[in-house]
Structure 1
Amino acid sequence: MSSAHAPKRVCIVGAGASGMSAAYALSRHPDRFQVTVYDKQTVTGGMATSIDIDANKYGASYINDGVQGCSPVFANTMRMFRMLGFEATEVGMQISFGKDKDFWTNVYPTALVAQFQKDIVKFGHALSTIKKFEPIFAMIPVHTMLKMFGFSTDFGNKMVYPLVALFFGTGNQTPYISSAILERVFKDPSMRLFEFSEKSLLASIPTMLAFPKLHDVYKAWKEEIASRGNVTFKLHHEVTQIISRHSEGKASISSPVHIKYKVTHNGLESKPKEAYFDELILAIDADSCLQLLGKEASWLEKKVLGNVKYLYDVTITHNDLEYMQKYYETRYDSSHNAPLEASSSAQERHETVEAFEFAKNNFRPLYYTMQYLQDPSKIEMSFDLTHYQPQFRGEKPAGPIDPKDKADHRNECEPADITREAQGETKGKIDASVRTGRDAERSAEPPLEQHVFQTIFLDRDGSQDLWTWKEIDPAKKIYEKWWKQQSHRWQHYAGTVPWMMWINGKNNTYYAGAWSVLNMHELAVTSGFAAAYRLGADYPFRGDEDCERLFRMYLAASHGVRMRKEDRKGVFA
């Protein structure tokens, strides 16, 4: 075969959601691409990990750690999972914000919601204004926006900031995120998580999706990608330097991308090794990109990538119900009920009483926040994983999917061994004896005393003096893990997002990762597809409007291009 027709050699650094998506799209063209995926971890998945826990004690043998689930509008993620033979599980997104007099929820009206009724109505008007002038508000942080519209400090601290933290996982950086992004999670059909209500801020208990066992999903995904023979995974291989991204003029070396890497395994390292490629996809954090590029980074890359700010958080997975009850509202308490206003109509009073009755029997929060008394603008976040993750109710690791179901692209890929095992009916019956409690639908689950919680202590460098992490009983700790999280401050939408198109594709380099726009699994997946598309691969879900909508938006925003002519429909597509 002549060199003109030789497959393009592509290096992907990172095997998280974005790197795996890029590898998948490229794997579909074995005659055109030869791909090598490097990751220093021993498994694929990046932040989407699973860890084992004591099934005899907690009623499930694992938890998903780091990534819990997503909105039903995350079409690319859900289609990819279904194709591999995995299905997410629907769960009602009940929240519990604050404690005592500062408590509110989307399950029933509380006294705090009644207190801020006028602010809530005004907030709806503010969202409409932000939508109308989105380019301007993209540069305005939430705390400034609240002042501009005359909202009270308490409304911001007790209702808006916890809600923003829920949307983005931004924790104590919530006052500084872009107002336009806040508006999008209420209004944008590709990103919307909640529906706004003038009465209660959140209109209802939205349906969210809890992921199947992510360790198994990513293992099956890896096998699917590798099955075509043109993608090689080099796990526990750490790329340490991008030596060059330009042709060096050597007759024996025609590929411009020159990398250095080492093998790290069981605490041992190999001597540095080198490899050459035609194209480079960096599917890692922005600061890691800069570190690898070093002097190879252009002036613009340094400015755009260097503008992404990261924070360090610690997640403690535990079984300390006493801690949770001290800082959060874990059970329904009628003393928090909003007063029945005499001015309300009979219908409104009836609906309010119904909400109280519903909460009495069905209050099962899966997401919590609490504010620090010393600084109410800073918060702590927690999950009730037993309420959130379906394996605690006997669901299979593959989720509620029938191996024979081929509808909506389910089981489209040749099932891997790990998929068949995860779909096995007996997998959902593990330690059913521990599940002596009942959920709202009367399905068996462990009683509250045996629930698994996850508490996230945010922003080590700015808030560690406020943390209450030492109050968690050490005997009830299950797992402790540090994370590096992107900050969605407004500067990100001024100094990074609009400039990505000017560095993507330059110097044989493409960037993939949710950090390029917004920290969501769906955007990570879409970014990987976009990088592969720029290299000439097909968009895997062409013709699926639900999937294509976000892909087109991402391609335009982060790469500055439209889909190729043959992939478009209509004059303005």
Structure 2
Amino acid sequence: MSPSKPQRVCIVGAGASGMSAAYALSRHPSRYAVTVFDKEGVAGGMATSIPVDAAKYGASYINDGVQGCSPAFANTMRMFRMLGFEPTEVGMQISFGKGEDFWTNVFPTELTSKFSEDIVKFGRALKTIKRLEVVFALIPVHVMLKIFRFSKDFGEKMVYPLVALFFGTGNQTPYISSAILERVFMDPSMRLFEYNDKSLLASIPTMFAFPKLHDCYQAWREEIASRGNVTFKFNHEVIRIVSRSSKSESGPVEIEYKVAEGPLETSLQTAYFDQIVLAIDADSCLRLLHREATFMEKRVLGNVKYLYDVTVTHNDLQYMQKYYEVKYDSSHNAPIPAESSAEERQEAEDTFKFAEESFRPLYYTMQYPQDKSKIEMSFDLTHYQPQFRGEKPAGPINSEDTSAHRNECRPLLDGARGAQNPKLGEAGASIRTGQNEQGTPEPPLENHVFQTIFLDRDGSSDLWTDGDIRKEKKIYEKWWKQQSHRWQHYAGTVPWMMFINGKNNTHYAGAWSVLNMHELAVTSGFAAAYRLGAEFPFHGDEECERLFKLYLGLSHGTRLRKEDRKGLMV
């Protein structure tokens, strides 16, 4: 290829990974000509927003697929802030189980008291798993629990719900790699909790609720397109990768696609490129490759198992109260041991008093009585998402604030400027007749918007309680395709990605390549672009580079280029 001729790159998928790859490549307008295909009409993939009735629920929209992130999600946070969007801090309160099986990270309950010995042992187990991570990566959680001789109830009532909720492992949790469990507590790039030897979870960790994702991704698209070397083709579905080694003068990568808008479709069209980035799920990668897939690709991609879940967004408080602990109930308080010191007794009383005034769960899980290894998950979106308390779609950001990379994309993009309009936060103000613990107006509990996720259609739908949600209370229903983090994923896919990434002019991007998190999706897109020769956009930012370097080594089998390294071992 002539040095003056830009490399033509096809990106399939405009979710977090595809947008990240496109962004990194867009920063080199003379070197890359990029085309992004997505069968949907907007960018975002699973990161979507939908409208709701502001007069009824107190806000005009919800984020319905991706809710928020840990403070460790450095690449995601920096990208959003650059675009003019700011995640909102929230205290991550959890309500697990119901009745005698209830526990929470807000106050000690009878259940945490019952499992006090297992909780202490759990801390020792985490340290062992960390030391022997290579071994435990291949050991499923249910086997690990037996190895360390945990009680069955402890695994079912505390460990399974905890992991399932925050990694989306759902009803496959007993079969996931034990290494994920350790990462929840120990990995600085992925940690969600701090372990406590008395209550399992140390405190109410700070999480971040995302700003309006539809607007954020629209601004992201604007920023990428502003450099002139990236073309977005929405409502364009890639049907087949015809060749990745075509002898045609037009280029080695040949694809077929069609344009679809509503009921209208075009006939198949052909396009040629020099490289292709598949920022879609593994099943879709194989479907597009078809006969073009190599033996290795079939083995590695075919090993990823997908499950089908349905999310029901609703306003059925009666349903929530039937299956979850929605309000503080002092009858669940852990007994204060008679031998406790005056200081310990006062600390416990203060915790119970705090819970009485401030118990506001964001996350819920419920175990099915027929099979306690299987669960259902719910969110209180009114507690979680800040627009229900009057926050503007861009989140708590000032258009003049340029600290810590905020509003770095100048001039401020149309999408960001519109989302920063404070008046947009006024939608639904009349219904906010309740208050949170800080005294900020929010809708009363009977007007809250909830989301319940029914997991694993093919393996658990006979247990689902979706029929108990009253029809008139349902707002929206949406099906999702989710990867399973079973231990086989960490044996047959994760360590082998490096052997297919970059081969045959093809690069893979997506959180599925390691772990289902928005941050990993973003990092995977940056890594694909980096392998094509682009710069890591946040070079020099140690927080952002930490996960990027780990991912580059794990999924691509390489490290930073010589000019990007600070030392021989970096």
Structure 2 length normalisation: TM-score? 0.99
**2:377 corresponds to 1:381:** yes
**2:12 corresponds to 1:10:** no
Query: 1:410 corresponds to which residue?
Result: 406
Distance 2:166 2:77 in 1: 19
Query: 1:471 corresponds to which residue?
Result: 468
Q: Which moved more, 1:532-541 or 1:417-426?
A: 417-426
**Secondary structure of the corresponding residue to residue 100 of structure 2:** helix
Give the C-alpha shift of residue 570 in structure 1: 1.8
**Secondary structure of the corresponding residue to residue 399 of structure 1:** coil
TM alignment of 1:46-445, pairs within 5 A? 46-248=45-247, 250=248, 252-253=249-250, 255-414=251-410, 415-445=412-442
Q: Deviations over 1:250-303 (max 9, x none)?
A: 4x43x1000000001012110000000000000000010000000100000000
Code of the aligned partner of 1:329: E
Across the two proteins, how many residue pairs are aligned to each other?
A: 569
Q: Which moved more, 1:428-437 or 1:220-229?
A: 428-437
Code of the aligned partner of 2:159: V
Distance 1:186 1:431 in 2: 38
Structure 1 length normalisation: TM-score? 0.99
**Secondary structure of the corresponding residue to residue 327 of structure 2:** coil
Code of the aligned partner of 1:135: V
**Secondary structure of the corresponding residue to residue 41 of structure 1:** coil
**Secondary structure of the corresponding residue to residue 465 of structure 1:** coil
Distance 2:109 2:2 in 1: 70
Q: Deviations over 1:347-402 (max 9, x none)?
A: 22211111100000000001000000111110000000000000000000000000
**2:549 corresponds to 1:552:** yes
Distance 1:201 1:410 in 2: 36
Q: Deviations over 1:44-91 (max 9, x none)?
A: 000000000000000000000110000011000000000000000000
Give the C-alpha shift of residue 499 in structure 1: 0.3
Give the C-alpha shift of residue 344 in structure 1: 2.3
Give the C-alpha shift of residue 4 in structure 1: 3.9
Give the C-alpha shift of residue 507 in structure 1: 0.1
CA RMSD of aligned residues (A): 0.7
Code of the aligned partner of 1:530: A
Q: 1:516 aligns with which of 503, 509, 513?
A: 513
Give the C-alpha shift of residue 184 in structure 1: 1.1
Distance 1:4 1:125 in 2: 57
Distance 1:303 1:211 in 2: 36
Distance 2:568 2:296 in 1: 33
Code of the aligned partner of 1:374: Q
Distance 1:343 1:501 in 2: 56
Code of the aligned partner of 1:75: A
Q: Deviations over 1:89-114 (max 9, x none)?
A: 00000000000000000000000000
Query: 1:496 corresponds to which residue?
Result: 493
**Secondary structure of the corresponding residue to residue 482 of structure 1:** strand
**Secondary structure of the corresponding residue to residue 262 of structure 1:** strand
Give the C-alpha shift of residue 5 in structure 1: 2.3
Distance 1:311 1:239 in 2: 23
